[in-house]
Copies of this chain bind each other. A is one copy, B any other.
């Protein structure tokens, strides 16, 4: 039931109204792995420069992340620097230095090629396709993307959609991709282009899981303190895929539960800078938060069905 993630391994410098940090662990594969490894072992594929604080990555290895697929190259690591608005709802990129990430060509180690569950973090869709070519028989492939690829590599992205099971994007990306503001019509557009499921993340408003027949809505966890939204979407993906890999069940009912684990992990991610919160928590905290989600949306309609015509 192995779980593979391919994505960026970066160093983030983030300014929020509550503080700032510099060169902290970030990137889609790191946030995904930090969350997913609380649920299931993770195989990670990425690239870092020889300036990367590999000792900090080793802390993740101790939590069940196999770093065999993280290549060290001569050069600088991928760095992103951003600043959030007062309400954390918008962010401005101050600097992006791709470094060795610009030359990233994912090579999946032989030991990872039997991965059953695969998450393709936000990288060039041509590279995402090349990863799938290297995986023998995945049971479920989920994929993220971004506006840069939606506009710049649309043909490759449309080809990729024909080969994945779940497209997991935020609402803005779903709108750009489909050309439709309504996220439910956008989800239908996605389903018509290949995936059997669309997960559309809406930040503080939660996320929806849409398949051909049904819609499932999971709110974001009600937090009075949000510290740094960076990586929340990838942590969501980590919770989602980690749950699926742990249970080995790709039924719709189980994907609904996976959404809850996703939203739980997204909520942990935003409580601290970088992946710091994931170092503080274990199964007890995860279980408590998932139970809290059950209370958050629970209601009983059965006694109320006596409306007379």
Stretch of A41-49, A73-81, A112-120, A254-262 at the chain-chain interface: A254-262
Asked whether A301 and B290 contact (CB < 8 A) given A205-B205, A309-B283, the answer is yes
Instruction: Tell me the bound Cα distance from A260 to B87 in angstroms.
Output: 28
Stretch of A62-70, A98-106, A126-134, A292-300 at the chain-chain interface: A292-300
A263 → chain B, closest Cβ, in Å? Answer: 11
Within 8 A of B (CB), among A206-226: 206, 208, 210, 214-219, 222-226
Residue in B215, B223, B257 whose beta carbon sits within 8 Å of that of A301 in the complex: B257
A286 → chain B, closest Cβ, in Å? Answer: 6
Instruction: Tell me the bound Cα distance from A219 to B218 in angstroms.
Output: 8
Residue in B219, B291, B299 whose beta carbon sits within 8 Å of that of A260 in the complex: B299
Chain B residue with Cβ nearest A260: B299
Task: Tell me if A202 counts as interface (CB < 8 A to partner B).
Answer: yes
Chain B residues lying within 8 Å of A257, measured Cβ to Cβ, are 299-301, 304
A72 → chain B, closest Cβ, in Å? Answer: 33
- Does B185 lie within 8 Å of A224, measured CB to CB? yes
Q: State the number of copies, please.
A: 2
Within 8 A of B (CB), among A168-196: 181-182, 184-185, 188
Task: Tell me if A308 counts as interface (CB < 8 A to partner B).
Answer: yes
Using C-beta atoms within 8 Å of the partner chain, give the interface range for chain A. 35 or more
Instruction: Tell me the bound Cα distance from A307 to B36 in angstroms.
Output: 13
Task: Tell me if A287 counts as interface (CB < 8 A to partner B).
Answer: yes
- Does A181 lie within 8 Å of B283, measured CB to CB? no
Chain B residues lying within 8 Å of A199, measured Cβ to Cβ, are none
- Does A297 lie within 8 Å of B300, measured CB to CB? no
- Does A243 lie within 8 Å of B304, measured CB to CB? yes
A26 → chain B, closest Cβ, in Å? Answer: 24
Residue in B205, B295, B307 whose beta carbon sits within 8 Å of that of A287 in the complex: B307
Task: Tell me if A282 counts as interface (CB < 8 A to partner B).
Answer: yes
Instruction: Tell me the bound Cα distance from A286 to B304 in angstroms.
Output: 11
Chain B residues lying within 8 Å of A293, measured Cβ to Cβ, are 301
Residue in B217, B261, B286, B304 whose beta carbon sits within 8 Å of that of A247 in the complex: B304
Task: Tell me if A111 counts as interface (CB < 8 A to partner B).
Answer: no
Task: Tell me if A55 counts as interface (CB < 8 A to partner B).
Answer: no
Chain B residues lying within 8 Å of A181, measured Cβ to Cβ, are 86-87
Chain B residue with Cβ nearest A284: B309
Within 8 A of B (CB), among A271-291: 282-284, 286-287, 290-291
A275 → chain B, closest Cβ, in Å? Answer: 19
Q: Which 3 pairs, one residue from A and one from B, show the smallest C-beta to C-beta distance? A: A283-B307, A205-B205, A217-B219
Q: A184-B222, A217-B297, A294-B301 are in contact. List 13 more A-B contacts (CB 8 A).
A: A86-B181, A184-B223, A185-B224, A188-B224, A202-B205, A214-B295, A216-B296, A216-B299, A256-B298, A287-B305, A291-B301, A293-B301, A297-B297
9 contacts between A and B (CB under 8 A): A182-B226, A184-B223, A184-B224, A188-B224, A216-B296, A216-B298, A217-B219, A256-B299, A257-B304
